[in-house]
Amino acid sequence: MSAVPPAGMVLPDVWYVACRSKTLRAAPLAVTIQGRPLVVFRGAGGAPAAFTDRCPHRNVPLSMGTVVGGELQCRYHGWRFDAAGQCTAVPGLVDGEVSLRSRCAEAFACVEQQGFVWVYSTPNQAPTHPPFSFPHLGEAPYSSVVREFHVEASVHAVVENTLDVPHTAYLHGGLFRTAQKSNVIDVVVRRHGTFAEAEFIGEPAPRGLVGRLLAPGGGVTEHTDRFLLPSIAQVEYRLGATSHLLATSALTPVTDTETRVFAVVTFKLPVPAWLVKPFVAPIATSIFAQDAVMLRRQTAQLQRFGGARYTSTELDVLGPQVTRLLKQAAAGEAPPEGVHEHRLRMKT
């Protein structure tokens, strides 16, 4: 099996984040998801709606238009479309049916929840399931920090990077792991039809800045890294009953080489949130900036050398599992029953 999913892969019947709620205002917004240009706008009552960003009349971008009375009006000849994509006005047309099927905009199901606008990946299709819900977001006693990033890399590369332990001591030296590897820990890897996770057992509290915030008194953490289809990467740390941190990234594939990252860090800690919050965003941002540089270089190399030629060890815990899950989802295969599990040991 190839180490990475093939270029141009498209996942049907899944949800991706189009934008944060606060980004979508009165004007229509152009976004690209899985290589497909879309326009997102607020229709009647402010509910989000999404179309292919192409007017059925002369194909200009609908994102150049304006929202009038909850409908999207094309900038060129003023055709109007309701949230379902139905054409409701062809200015100047005296006789003839306005709302012909061929005059419809191609519409995508759209849902707004937890401060994000999600778009379904298959047009003109009723969703089979709701979008992902960020655990504990907005729930007392948890606090959250939300950030949005753009990375020049595939979703697969971003997921593998987010859930990869061995690079942290090198690329992020001092921030949360060091290069001296003194602890041998057990890793349990589980794969199910819709997720893959690695549980790290017996891991001491991370060192460095992150460790000091998470576990001021040290101790043993429960740490699980997780991928959920279609594109959620989640790192979870728990220390006793008092500390719980979830860093969840909802990734949106823009193209094969570009990904938008909607990162939500949700935590409860033994120290008050107001004390911690000022550190969380800058730390997360600087970790992210280091990763983004490396991912960009990795993508450039793949282009330079005409593709990936990876070699792996068992320390590359989740990358192959993620590839397998993505390929299954792209093929529309029914997920296999049950949970597949294996164990390995790692020095951290």
CA pair distance 316, 230, nearest whole angstrom: 20
Which of Fe ion, ligand FES, none does residue 291 bind (CB under 5 to 8 Å by kind)? Fe ion
Which of Fe ion, ligand FES, none does residue 79 bind (CB under 5 to 8 Å by kind)? ligand FES
Query: CB-wise, 74 or 233, nearer to ligand FES?
Result: 74
* Shortest reach from residue 62's CB to ligand FES, in Å: 7
Stretch that binds Fe ion, among 6-14, 100-108, 290-298, 333-341 (CB under 5 A): 290-298
94 φ/ψ sector (left φ>0, alpha ψ -120 to 50, else beta): alpha
Binding residues with Fe ion: total (CB under 5 A): 1
CA pair distance 77, 80, nearest whole angstrom: 9
Which of ligand FES, Fe ion, none does residue 98 bind (CB under 5 to 8 Å by kind)? none
Instruction: Please say whether the beta carbons of 4 and 153 come within 8 A.
Output: no
**Residue 77 sits in the site that holds ligand FES (CB under 6 A):** yes
* Shortest reach from residue 151's CB to Fe ion, in Å: 11
- Per-residue tokens: 55: 């007017």
Query: CB-wise, 70 or 78, nearer to ligand FES?
Result: 78
CA pair distance 121, 128, nearest whole angstrom: 12
Site string for Fe ion, 188-217 (x = CB under 5 A): ------------------------------
* Shortest reach from residue 167's CB to Fe ion, in Å: 6
CA pair distance 111, 75, nearest whole angstrom: 25
Query: CB-wise, 39 or 158, nearer to ligand FES?
Result: 39
- Which one of 74, 291, 292, 323 is in contact with Fe ion (CB under 5 A)? 291
* Shortest reach from residue 88's CB to Fe ion, in Å: 48
**Residue 60 sits in the site that holds ligand FES (CB under 6 A):** yes
Site string for ligand FES, 20-59 (x = CB under 6 A): -----------------------------------x-xx-
- Per-residue tokens: 280: 């969380």
Instruction: Please say whether the beta carbons of 284 and 267 come within 8 A.
Output: no
Query: CB-wise, 55 or 159, nearer to ligand FES?
Result: 55
291 phi/psi in degrees, rounded to 5? -65, -40
Instruction: Please say whether the beta carbons of 54 and 76 come within 8 A.
Output: no
* Shortest reach from residue 116's CB to Fe ion, in Å: 23
HEC string of 140-153 equals CCCEEEEEEEEECC
CA pair distance 52, 262, nearest whole angstrom: 22
CA pair distance 114, 134, nearest whole angstrom: 8
* Shortest reach from residue 73's CB to ligand FES, in Å: 8
Residue 122 per-residue DSSP state: S
* Shortest reach from residue 76's CB to ligand FES, in Å: 4
* Shortest reach from residue 294's CB to Fe ion, in Å: 8
Binding residues with ligand FES: total (CB under 6 A): 8
HEC string of 264-322 equals EEEEECCCCHHHHHHHHHHHHHHHHHHHHHHHHHHHHHHHHCCCCCCCCCCCCCCHHHH
- Per-residue tokens: 45: 């009552």
* Shortest reach from residue 183's CB to Fe ion, in Å: 19
Rg, the chain, Cα only:
22
**Residue 79 sits in the site that holds ligand FES (CB under 6 A):** yes
- Which one of 20, 76, 308, 344 is in contact with ligand FES (CB under 6 A)? 76
**Residue 74 sits in the site that holds ligand FES (CB under 6 A):** yes
Applying CB under 6 A, which residues contact ligand FES?
A: 55, 57-58, 60, 74, 76-77, 79
Residues that bind Fe ion (CB under 5 A): 291
